[in-house]
Structure 1
Amino acid sequence: MADREDLKKWVVAALKDHGGQAALIDVAKHIWKHHEVELRASGDLFYKWQYDMRWAAMVLRKQGVMSDGWALKT
C-alpha cells in the first residue's frame, strides 16, 4: 500500500524520466501510468493523491531536490 512518502519518490522518478523537468500534468500522468495499481490499493490516498503529489513537490523543494516549478535542481 502506497503512502504520501512514496509520492516523493514517484515525483522524482517522473521528473528524471522527463529529462529533469516536466509540466504538472505530465508528472501526474507518469505517476498514474506507473503506479495506478498501487494508488487504487491505497485507501484514502487514492482520492487525494494529486493533492499529495503537490505536497511532495513542496517538501522536495524545501529539501533542495527540486527548484521552483516542476524541475529537479541540477
Structure 2
Amino acid sequence: MKKDELPGKLIEVLKNLGGRGTILEICKKFWELYGKELNENDNLFYTWQYDIRWAATELRKSKIMKPKEISSKGVWELS
C-alpha cells in the first residue's frame, strides 16, 4: 500500500462506518479492513496512523469530508 492510496481507503472506512466515526473507530476499522495490506518492510506500516490524518486533511480540502469546525469534536464525517 502507498500513502497516496490512503484517502480512498479512508473514504471506504468511513462509508463502512455509516459516513462518520471517531478517530479510534476509524483506526480500528482501517486495521480490520486493510491491516494485512500494510507491509512490515514499508515505512507506511509504521506511520499509517499519522498518515491517515494527512489523508483526512486532503479529503477536507477536496470537500469530501466535512471541515473539523462543523463536525463534533473528534468525529470525522463525509460531506
- What are the equivalent positions in structure 2 for 1:19-38 lying under 5 Å apart? 19-38=18-37
Which runs of 5 or more structure 1 residues have no equivalent in the other structure? none
- Distance, in Å, in 2 between the alignment partners of 1:50 and 1:42 is 16
- Indicate the residue corresponding to 2:72 in structure 1: none
Higher-helix-fraction structure? 1
Tell me whether 1:52 sits opposite 2:51 in the alignment: yes
- Distance, in Å, in 1 between the alignment partners of 2:9 and 2:41 is 15
TM-superposed deviation, 1:42: 5.8
Higher-strand-fraction structure? 2
TM-superposed deviation, 1:44: 0.4
Aligned residues: 72
**Which of structures 1 and 2 has the bigger CA Rg?**
2
Please provide the CA RMSD for this pair.
1.3
Question: Structure 1 runs of 4+ off > 4 angstroms?
Answer: none
Within the candidate set 53, 70, 78, 1:72 is matched to 78
Which runs of 5 or more structure 2 residues have no equivalent in the other structure? 69-75
